Amino acid sequence: DFDSLAVGSSMHDVDGWEGWFDDAQWGAQVTDAVAYSGTNSLEIVGTRDDLVPNWPQQTTGKWTLSVMQYCPSDKQTTGVVYFGPLTEYDGAAETVGWISEFMANFETGKAYCNADDAIQVDLVYDDWAELRLEVDLDAQEADFYYDNVFLSTQPAPSIAGVDIWPTDDIVAIYYDDFRFEAAE
């Protein structure tokens, strides 16, 4: 969670987080506008943010990545927010790969997995919905869930972070309670 950070602070300055390709201009900010737990959350804005929480690349074992997402109904009616788990990332364009992306599509009002949009569910507005990725690197696959609804299974040879980026017309979307941990 973001409660130990000052409102308005840039996530680019927080260990384990950075703006896309280590560029401070893309570092999202901490806000107290809404929060899932505590008082602060992460605000993503279309014209400002492309944020990467990253960790050492994992290539074996079972892992769970989860985060709470809040889509305000009064902020935007167009645009898309991408939440893309990364297979590799070191801050350089030559070494970037995605498993796929969770899509929050405000034009259609749907959430889905970009690589396989056969299952689409209604976006949850004005409340918190969990984005969850259950990763089995030994089987090299990842299951995508939105608000506990299965969306897709995608190939996953590794996991090394997440890329969160919106189209320019996204006014604000919020995240809280990031978790990346070994699954039991």
3-state SS string over 14-48? Answer: CCCEEEHHHCHHHCCEEECCCCCCCCCEEEECCCC
Residue 43 belongs to a domain with what CATH number? 2.60.120.560
Amino acid identity of residue 5, one-letter, is: L
Q: β-pairing, 149-155 with 116-122?
A: unpaired
Predicted local distance difference test score (pLDDT) of residue 174 = 96
Asked whether residue 156 is domain-assigned, the answer is yes
Q: Residue 105 forms beta bridges with which residues?
A: 80, 110
Asked whether residue 174 is domain-assigned, the answer is yes
Cα(175)–Cα(169) distance, rounded to whole angstroms? 18
pTM (global) more than 0.85: yes
Predicted local distance difference test score (pLDDT) of residue 102 = 92
pLDDT in tens, the chain (184 residues): 799 999 999 999 898 898 888 888 888 999 999 999 999 999 999 888 888 888 889 999 999 999 999 999 887 678 999 999 999 987 766 778 899 999 999 999 999 998 888 999 999 999 999 999 999 999 999 999 999 999 999 999 999 999 999 999 888 999 999 999 999 7
Asked whether residue 108 is domain-assigned, the answer is yes
Phi, psi of 170 (to 5 degrees): -80, 120
Domain count within the chain: 1
Instruction: Determine the 3-state secondary structure of 176 from DSSP.
Output: strand
Predicted local distance difference test score (pLDDT) of residue 76 = 67
Asked whether residue 82 is domain-assigned, the answer is yes
Predicted local distance difference test score (pLDDT) of residue 92 = 66
Q: Residue 30 forms beta bridges with which residues?
A: 42
Asked whether residue 4 is domain-assigned, the answer is no
Domain extent, residue 152, equals 11-182
The token pair that represents 132 in the structure block = 């969850």
To which residue do tokens 């919020």 refer?
174
Asked whether residue 3 is domain-assigned, the answer is no
Cα(152)–Cα(117) distance, rounded to whole angstroms? 8
